[in-house]
Amino acid sequence: MLWAARVLARAFGTVWELLSRLRRRPQAPDPAEELRGKLAAARARDSEPVVPPTEPVPEPAAEPAQAPAEPAQAPAEPGSTDLEGLRRDVHARARVLREEMRGTGESD
Protein backbone atom coordinates (compact mmCIF):
# COMPACT_ATOMS: atom_id res chain seq x y z
CA MET A 1 0.00 0.00 0.00
CA LEU A 2 2.89 2.32 0.72
CA TRP A 3 4.31 1.82 -2.74
CA ALA A 4 0.93 2.78 -4.30
CA ALA A 5 0.90 6.06 -2.36
CA ARG A 6 4.42 6.86 -3.56
CA VAL A 7 3.54 6.12 -7.19
CA LEU A 8 0.38 8.20 -6.89
CA ALA A 9 2.30 11.10 -5.28
CA ARG A 10 4.93 11.02 -8.01
CA ALA A 11 2.24 10.94 -10.70
CA PHE A 12 0.48 13.95 -9.16
CA GLY A 13 3.82 15.73 -8.77
CA THR A 14 4.67 15.15 -12.43
CA VAL A 15 1.27 16.37 -13.59
CA TRP A 16 1.55 19.41 -11.31
CA GLU A 17 5.01 20.27 -12.73
CA LEU A 18 3.82 19.94 -16.32
CA LEU A 19 0.77 22.11 -15.68
CA SER A 20 2.85 24.76 -13.94
CA ARG A 21 5.25 24.87 -16.89
CA LEU A 22 2.41 25.11 -19.38
CA ARG A 23 0.55 27.71 -17.37
CA ARG A 24 0.80 31.07 -19.03
CA ARG A 25 2.94 33.47 -17.06
CA PRO A 26 2.53 37.20 -17.50
CA GLN A 27 5.24 38.14 -19.97
CA ALA A 28 7.12 41.39 -19.89
CA PRO A 29 6.50 43.57 -22.94
CA ASP A 30 8.99 43.04 -25.73
CA PRO A 31 11.53 45.90 -25.60
CA ALA A 32 11.82 45.90 -29.39
CA GLU A 33 8.07 46.35 -29.80
CA GLU A 34 8.09 49.13 -27.23
CA LEU A 35 10.86 50.95 -29.14
CA ARG A 36 9.05 50.45 -32.44
CA GLY A 37 5.96 52.03 -30.94
CA LYS A 38 7.94 55.02 -29.67
CA LEU A 39 9.61 55.42 -33.07
CA ALA A 40 6.27 55.30 -34.87
CA ALA A 41 4.84 57.92 -32.50
CA ALA A 42 7.87 60.18 -33.04
CA ARG A 43 7.62 59.84 -36.81
CA ALA A 44 3.91 60.63 -36.72
CA ARG A 45 4.58 63.67 -34.55
CA ASP A 46 7.40 64.87 -36.85
CA SER A 47 5.37 64.35 -40.02
CA GLU A 48 2.58 66.63 -38.82
CA PRO A 49 2.94 70.03 -40.44
CA VAL A 50 3.92 72.74 -38.02
CA VAL A 51 2.30 76.06 -38.79
CA PRO A 52 4.41 78.89 -37.41
CA PRO A 53 2.52 81.79 -35.91
CA THR A 54 2.05 84.58 -38.39
CA GLU A 55 3.75 87.82 -37.51
CA PRO A 56 3.30 91.10 -39.29
CA VAL A 57 6.09 91.71 -41.77
CA PRO A 58 7.87 95.00 -41.06
CA GLU A 59 8.20 97.34 -43.99
CA PRO A 60 11.77 97.83 -45.18
CA ALA A 61 13.29 101.09 -44.04
CA ALA A 62 14.45 103.56 -46.62
CA GLU A 63 18.11 102.93 -47.40
CA PRO A 64 20.53 105.84 -47.24
CA ALA A 65 21.89 107.09 -50.56
CA GLN A 66 25.37 105.78 -49.89
CA ALA A 67 26.14 103.07 -47.36
CA PRO A 68 29.44 103.42 -45.49
CA ALA A 69 32.06 101.02 -46.80
CA GLU A 70 33.05 98.28 -44.38
CA PRO A 71 36.76 97.76 -43.77
CA ALA A 72 38.14 94.81 -45.73
CA GLN A 73 40.04 93.49 -42.72
CA ALA A 74 37.03 92.90 -40.46
CA PRO A 75 33.87 91.78 -42.31
CA ALA A 76 30.66 92.22 -40.34
CA GLU A 77 28.97 89.30 -38.64
CA PRO A 78 26.18 87.90 -40.78
CA GLY A 79 22.75 88.73 -39.42
CA SER A 80 20.87 85.89 -41.06
CA THR A 81 21.15 82.14 -40.84
CA ASP A 82 21.78 81.80 -44.57
CA LEU A 83 24.33 78.98 -44.76
CA GLU A 84 25.74 80.04 -48.10
CA GLY A 85 26.22 83.58 -46.80
CA LEU A 86 27.91 82.25 -43.66
CA ARG A 87 30.23 80.12 -45.76
CA ARG A 88 31.19 83.09 -47.95
CA ASP A 89 31.81 85.22 -44.87
CA VAL A 90 34.07 82.61 -43.25
CA HIS A 91 36.08 82.25 -46.46
CA ALA A 92 36.42 86.01 -46.80
CA ARG A 93 37.72 86.27 -43.23
CA ALA A 94 40.20 83.47 -43.89
CA ARG A 95 41.48 85.22 -47.01
CA VAL A 96 41.94 88.47 -45.09
CA LEU A 97 43.82 86.72 -42.29
CA ARG A 98 45.96 84.81 -44.80
CA GLU A 99 46.91 88.03 -46.55
CA GLU A 100 47.72 89.68 -43.21
CA MET A 101 49.97 86.79 -42.21
CA ARG A 102 51.71 86.74 -45.61
CA GLY A 103 52.15 90.49 -45.55
CA THR A 104 53.61 90.40 -42.04
CA GLY A 105 56.07 87.62 -42.92
CA GLU A 106 57.35 89.39 -46.09
CA SER A 107 58.04 92.74 -44.42
CA ASP A 108 60.36 91.23 -41.77
What is the percent of the chain with per-residue pLDDT over 70, rounded to a whole number? 64
* Residue 108: pLDDT band with limits 50, 70, 90: very low
pLDDT, one tens digit per residue, over 57-99 is: 667 666 655 555 555 555 555 455 688 889 999 999 999 999 9
If one compares 80 and 19, the residue with the highest pLDDT of the two is 19
Candidates 20, 18, 16, 23; CA nearest to 8 is 16
pTM over 0.75: no
